[in-house]
Every structure is written in structure tokens, then in C-alpha cells.
A and B are shown apart, each in its own frame.
Chain A
Amino acid sequence: MECISDQKILESIEGQASKLEMSVYRDHLLVCPHCRQVADRYLALNRQLVKPVLYEPPLTIVRKVMATLYPDFPVYSSLLALIASSFVFLVTWIYIYFDFAHNSLVKALQLTSDSASGWLTQAIKFISTVFSLVYASFKAIHAFIAIVFKTDVSVEAITAFMLTMSLLFFFILSRFFARRLKGNRK
């Protein structure tokens, strides 16, 4: 039998030939040392090709792309968002942990602020309102998770969730104001 062409040998070792052709080539390879040698060479070559030697891309690529796509990202906005959300996180955590909703001191402050005036009472009212809103949203999320997933989620998990959400919220807010500021400057 005549020797098989290189292409046919390659097709057979890569499983691209038909079953009939494969069996014919296999039989030939058993009796033909030349074709067997060619097949071995291609097998060795394929082994080198399937695991390529890769160059490590420089880190500057990602940095430059991000700098082009988001020129002022993320120094100013994200820092602002982080500070704001950390504040919300801290306040929420203290409020929930110490159960300030039922704390007599807070209640007393609220009552006092109702009958008083000045910036301090306004501040107390504001903080109290923020606290109440945060506490209400905490309760709502807790109830929602309990209904949907039929499980009781820990205070820590909900607080972490609220932190993430507030981070996102403040980030979007700060981006919005940063853009407006930029627009006004232009």
C-alpha cells in the first residue's frame, strides 16, 4: 500500500477523518515505519501547540483602558461614597445593636426636641428621622427575606447588605453631583 499523505495522517490523529478512513490509516501505520514516524512528529507538534507559551501582558494595559474609559474614576467619587456609606453603616449598626429605637435617652431627646428650638434640636430631629428610616428599612428587608426565603437572616448579613446598598447609592449620588459640577464649570 502507498504511503498516506501528511494531511491524511494529521486528519486521522486529530479524529477528523471518517471511521473507515481512520481504520485504513491505522492499519497502514502499523506496517509503515515512515508514516508512523510522520504521525509521531505531528502528535508531538500538537502536544506543543495545545499548551501555548504565553507572554504576560503588562499591568498598564488595564490601567490605561480604565483611565481612558473613566477619566476621573474612582478617586473622588468612590472615596466620598465610602465615607458616606461607612457613616450610615456605623450609625445603623449602633442603632440596631443597642436597640436605640426603644432607648429612653433617644425618646427623651425626641420629646425634648419637640418642645425646643434651635439648630441642636433640628439636628436631633434629623438624626432621629434618619435613624427611624434606617431602622424601618432594616425591618422591611428582614421581613422580606423571611417571607421570600423562609429563613431568618442575621443582623450582620442585613447590615452588610445595607452597607453595600448605601455604598452604591452614595456612589451614584456622588457621580451625579460630580458630573453636574463638571457641567457647570464648562
Chain B
Amino acid sequence: MRKYNRKIFNYVIRMVRHEETAIELTQEFFIKIFVVLDKYNFEYKFSTWAYRICYNLVIDHIRKNQVQLASLSDDAVSARTMLESDNVVRDDGFRNLANEETKAYVWKLIERIPLKYRELILLKYIQDLKYEEIADITDLPVGTIKNRIFKAKEILKKEIDKDGMH
């Protein structure tokens, strides 16, 4: 449980963007894993099987609750503003920020990209999965996954350019 706790929690919180909900869903995930452990299909890697359960759980929750998450396209508040609120802005403005600050900025941006892109970026980079594993989890073709991840990066790049965070 400790092995997956961090990655699962980070995936969930970035999907639902609400701490209390993320905690509840992470708990629900672990309980579900224990309950359905006897149904584990040995054709899959355990991690892929577990992430699939997590993915379905989160997607179901979002669908059921019709979570309207503000995305970059319809949100006037930029990640730059979010960073300001996090007090990580430097005296010399946003250009050439320290690596850790840029990273924090980029990951704040990820939380705001549309769900269909964000879920794949999170599976790829938080869970560190290959395209084929993501395809097993999401039931999407590998080509679609690659395209969406590219689209996500394109959105991120545009946003970074717009904010002048190079």
C-alpha cells in the first residue's frame, strides 16, 4: 500500500483537484483493491491492473458528480497567477526561474489542462507508464494516446510561452 500510496494519491488529486475528495477516493481505491484481489488477472502487470481500477474509479466519480473543472481554455486565471499566490515569484520576474519553480509552475499548469489530456499526462508521468500500458488502462488506441499527449504538451508549451516562463 505504501508503494502505491503516493503515486495514486497524486494521480487522484490532480484529476479531481480537491483534497478531501482525493483522500476519499484513494481510500476507496485501496479498499476496492483488497476486495477484488481474487479477481486479479495474471495476464496484466499488477500495477497496470491496479491503475486501471484507479482510473475507472476516478472517471466514474467525475462522471457521477459532473465535476466541472475549469480548464485552461475557459479560465481567465493563469498558472502565473497561481504561482503568485503560492509566493514562488522572484524579484526578477518570471523569466529564467529556478528549475524547481519552473517545475512547480508546469505541474500547476497540468492541473488545468482539459481532463482528456490531463488523465493521459498523469498516467504517463506520475505513474510512469508506457503508451501500451496506458492503452490497457484507458481502452484507447496507442495512436490516440500519443496524439492527446502531444496535444497536452502543445497546450502547455503555448501557455508557458504566453506566461513568458522559458
Contact = CB atoms under 8 A, between A and B. Distances in A.
Interface residues of B, number: 33
Interface string B1-25: 1100111011001000000000100
Nearest to A57: B9
Which of B27, B121, B156 gathers the greatest number of chain A CB atoms within 10 Å?
Answer: B27
Interface stretch (B48-56, B65-73, B101-109): B101-109
A6 B23 CA distance: 38
Nearest to A68: B31
A45 B153 contact: yes
Given A42-B153, A45-B153, A48-B102, A57 B34 contact: no
Contact of A48 (B10, B30, B103): B103
B2 A62 contact: yes
Contacts of A56: 6
Interface residues of A, number: 27
Given A6-B154, A45-B106, A48-B106, A58 B23 contact: yes
Contacts, number: 75
Interface in A125-157: none
Nearest to B151: A7
29 contacts: A7-B154, A10-B150, A42-B157, A45-B153, A48-B106, A48-B107, A49-B121, A49-B125, A50-B125, A51-B103, A52-B10, A52-B107, A52-B126, A53-B103, A53-B104, A54-B6, A54-B7, A57-B5, A57-B6, A57-B26, A60-B23, A61-B5, A61-B9, A61-B27, A65-B27, A65-B31, A65-B34, A68-B31, A69-B31
Interface of B: 1-2, 5-7, 9-10, 13, 23, 26-27, 30-31, 34, 102-104, 106-107, 121, 124-126, 146-147, 150, 153-154, 156-157, 160-161, 166
Given A6-B150, A41-B161, A61-B23, 20 more contacts: A41-B160, A42-B153, A49-B106, A49-B124, A49-B125, A52-B10, A52-B107, A52-B126, A53-B103, A53-B104, A54-B6, A54-B7, A56-B6, A57-B6, A57-B10, A57-B26, A61-B27, A65-B30, A65-B31, A69-B34
